[in-house]
C-alpha cells in the first residue's frame, strides 16, 4: 500500500511504532510551544494584536476581489509582471514558461508551501529543470526524497544522526558526524555555490500589500534574499489570500508571526520587494487552487485568514504524537486538516477526525481562526456527504440505536461491565482501538442508575 492510500490513523500507527522517537518529537514541539508562550507574554497588548490581526484578515476576505485588482495595478506599475493561476497545474505551467523563456535549467527556491501544494518540484524535474531547495530543513528533506513534515520546521521529524547520514551521502561530509554546527556549515558551503550559479530564484510570499504592490518574505536563514538578489529572474508565488490592505498593517502581522511560530521577536530578515533591480525580472504568480471556492463556504472561509505560523501544529497533541507525514498533505496539523478537505473531500476525509477537539489550536492562533470548531463542523459535512469510513458509519449507527433505547442501553452497560470483570481479554486486545497505548479502566460494580435505584428512599 503506498502512502497516499493510507489514512491518518494508519500513518500515525507507523509513526508510533518507535515510542522513543514519538516522545522526542512530542517534547521538541512542546518546547517550541513554550517559547511561543514566553514571547507572547512579553507583549502586554498581545490579545489586542490577535483581535486586530483577525479583524484585518476578516476585512481582507470581505474585499478580496478589490484588493487583488489594486495589488495587480500597483505591482504592475512597480515593474513586476503579475500572473494568475486558477489551479496547481496552471501555476506550474506559468513557472515553467518563465524559466523556458529565459533558458534557465537550474532554479534555487526558498520556502514556499504553495509550491509544495502544487507539486512544483516534481513537475519541473520532469521537464528537466533542477530545483534546489535552499532552506536548510527543506534541503534535508529534498535530499531524503521526502516532503516537509512541518511548515516552519520542515525536517523536525529527523534526528541529527539521520541528517548526518544524508549529508554524508549527498554532500560528502565525514561519516558519523552529526554535529548541527558542522552540518549547517557544510550546507552553507554547498548552497552558496548554488546561489552563485542560480539564474532564477523562486520565493514564497508571507504578505502582499494591495496599497503599494510590494510583497514581504520572512526568513531566518537569509536564503530568500541570497537567491533573489543574485538571480536574473525572481518568481514569487502566493495564494490569493496572502493579501493585506496597507503596509502599516504589517506592523501587526510581523509582531505576531514569529512570536507565534518559534518564540523569536521577529525573523532575522523581513524583506520588502517592490521593484526589480535594474536588469532583473520580477514575477508574481497569484494562485487560486480552490481558495475562491473555499471563500464561499461560510463555516470554513475563515481558515483563509491563516498566516502559516504553525503555532497550531506545535500545540496539537495529535500532531506532536503522529508526525507531519501522517497528514498526507502539504500543510499538515490542525489548520491543514480544515484546509485540505476543501481541495478534495474524499481524499482528506480522515483529517478532521485527526483531532481531540481540545481547542488548543484555536487558543494559540494569532489570527483567531476557530480551528477546532471547524474540525467539528467538517466531520458533520463529511459524514453527510458519505465520506466517513464504513466501520465508523456502522459504529455510529449502532451507537444511535443503543443510546435511543433505554432498555438496550442498560443491558449493554451491564454486559460491558460483566465482560470487563469476568473476561477482560475480550476487550484488552488489539481488536479494540481504545486498548492501544492505554489500559482499560477497572469496571464499576454497578452503574449510577442501579446505585440510585437501590439507594432511593
CA 218 to CA 208: how far, in whole Å?
12
By CB under 8 A, name the one of 113, 120, 261, 295 that touches other proteins. 295
Strand ranges, E, within 274-340: 281-287
Per CB under 8 A, the segment of 190-198, 366-374, 406-414, 444-452 that binds other proteins is: 190-198
CB nearer to other proteins: pick between 52 and 322: 52
CB nearer to other proteins: pick between 271 and 355: 271
**Binders of other proteins in range 28-67 (CB under 8 A):** 28, 31-32, 43, 45, 48-49, 51-52, 55-56, 58-59, 61-65
**Binders of other proteins in range 129-148 (CB under 8 A):** 134-137, 140
CB nearer to other proteins: pick between 59 and 428: 59
Q: How many CB atoms lie within 10 A of CB 336?
A: 27
By CB under 8 A, name the one of 41, 100, 127, 265 that touches other proteins. 265
**Binders of other proteins in range 12-31 (CB under 8 A):** 28, 31
Smallest distance from other proteins to CB 431, Å: 38
CB nearer to other proteins: pick between 7 and 225: 225
Long-range contacts formed by 264-267: CB under 8 A, 24+ apart: 264/39, 264/220, 265/39, 267/218, 267/219, 267/220
- List C-alpha distances in Å: 285 to 94, 196, 360: 8, 24, 34
Does residue 84 belong to the site contacting other proteins (CB under 8 A)? yes
Smallest distance from other proteins to CB 348, Å: 20
Does residue 220 belong to the site contacting other proteins (CB under 8 A)? yes
CA 261 to CA 152: how far, in whole Å?
7
The secondary structure element, H or E, covering residue 97 is helix 88-101
Does residue 416 belong to the site contacting other proteins (CB under 8 A)? no
Per CB under 8 A, the segment of 158-166, 316-324, 384-392, 416-424 that binds other proteins is: 158-166
Per CB under 8 A, the segment of 7-15, 157-165, 312-320, 384-392 that binds other proteins is: 157-165
CB nearer to other proteins: pick between 48 and 398: 48
Evaluate whether 410 touches 447 at the Cβ level (below 8 Å): yes
Does residue 151 belong to the site contacting other proteins (CB under 8 A)? no
Does residue 195 belong to the site contacting other proteins (CB under 8 A)? yes
Q: How many CB atoms lie within 10 A of CB 396?
A: 12
Does residue 68 belong to the site contacting other proteins (CB under 8 A)? yes
Measured CA angle at 139 (ends 135, 144), to 5 deg: 155
Does residue 305 belong to the site contacting other proteins (CB under 8 A)? no
Does residue 81 belong to the site contacting other proteins (CB under 8 A)? no
Nearest to 306 by CA among 328, 332, 326, 281: 332
Amino acid at each position: 500500500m503506498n502512502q497516499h492510500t493510507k489514512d491518518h490513523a494508519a500513518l500515525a500507527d507507523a509513526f508510533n511504532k518507535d515510542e522513543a522517537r514519538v516522545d522526542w518529537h512530542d517534547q521538541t514541539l512542546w518546547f517550541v510551544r513554550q517559547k511561543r508562550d514566553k514571547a507572547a507574554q512579553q507583549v502586554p497588548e498581545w490579545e489586542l494584536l490577535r483581535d486586530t490581526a483577525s479583524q484585518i484578515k476578516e476585512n481582507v476576505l470581505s474585499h478580496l476581489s478589490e484588493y487583488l485588482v489594486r495589488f495587480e495595478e500597483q505591482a504592475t506599475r512597480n515593474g513586476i509582471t503579475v500572473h494568475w493561476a486558477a489551479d496547481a497545474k496552471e501555476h506550474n505551467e506559468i513557472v515553467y514558461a518563465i524559466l523556458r523563456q529565459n533558458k534557465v535549467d537550474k532554479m534555487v527556491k526558498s520556502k514556499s508551501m504553495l509550491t509544495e501544494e502544487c507539486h512544483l518540484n516534481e513537475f519541473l524535474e520532469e521537464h528537466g529543470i533542477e530545483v534546489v531547495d535552499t532552506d536548510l530543513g527543506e534541503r534535508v528533506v529534498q535530499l531524503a526524497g521526502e516532503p516537509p513534515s512541518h511548515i516552519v520546521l520542515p525536517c523536525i521529524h529527523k534526528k541529527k544522526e539521520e541528517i548526518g547520514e544524508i549529508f554524508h551521502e549527498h554532500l560528502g561530509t565525514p561519516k558519523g558526524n552529526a554535529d548541527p554546527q558542522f552540518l549547517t556549515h557544510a550546507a552553507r558551503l554547498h548552497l552558496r555555490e548554488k546561489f552563485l550559479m542560480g539564474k532564477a530564484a523562486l520565493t514564497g510570499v508571507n504578505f502582499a500589500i494591495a496599497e503599494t504592490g510590494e510583497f514581504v518574505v520572512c526568513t531566518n536563514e537569509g536564503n530568500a534574499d541570497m537567491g533573489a538578489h543574485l538571480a536574473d529572474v525572481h518568481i514569487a508565488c502566493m495564494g490569493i489570500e496572502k493579501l493585506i490592505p496597507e503596509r502599516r498593517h504589517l506592523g501587526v502581522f510581523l509582531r505576531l508571526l514569529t512570536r507565534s511560530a518559534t518564540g523569536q521577536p521577529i525573523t532575522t530578515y523581513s524583506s520588502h520587494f517592490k521593484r526589480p533591480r535594474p536588469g532583473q525580472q520580477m514575477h508574481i504568480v497569484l494562485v487560486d487552487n480552490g481558495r475562491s471556492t473555499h471563500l464561499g463556504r461560510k463555516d470554513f472561509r475563515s481558515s483563509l485568514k491563516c498566516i502559516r505560523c504553525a503555532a497550531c501544529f506545535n500545540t496539537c497533541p495529535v500532531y506532536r504524537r503522529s508526525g507531519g507525514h501522517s497528514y498526507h498533505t502539504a500543510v499538515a496539523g490542525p489548520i491543514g486538516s480544515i484546509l485540505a478537505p476543501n481541495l478534495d473531500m474524499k481524499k482528506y476525509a480522515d483529517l478532521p477526525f485527526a483531532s481531540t477537539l481540545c481547542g488548543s489550536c484555536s487558543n494559540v492562533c494569532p489570527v483567531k481562526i476557530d480551528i477546532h470548531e471547524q474540525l467539528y463542523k467538517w466531520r458533520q459535512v463529511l459524514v453527510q456527504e458519505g465520506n466517513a469510513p464504513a466501520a465508523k458509519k456502522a459504529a455510529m449507527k449502532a451507537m444511535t440505536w443503543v443510546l435511543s433505547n433505554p432498555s438496550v442501553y442498560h443491558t449493554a452497560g451491564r454486559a460491558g461491565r460483566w465482560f470487563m470483570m469476568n473476561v477482560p481479554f475480550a476487550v484488552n486486545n488489539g481488536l479494540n482501538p481504545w486498548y492501544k497505548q492505554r489500559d482499560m479502566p477497572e469496571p464499576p460494580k454497578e452503574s449510577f442508575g442501579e446505585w440510585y435505584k437501590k439507594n432511593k428512599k
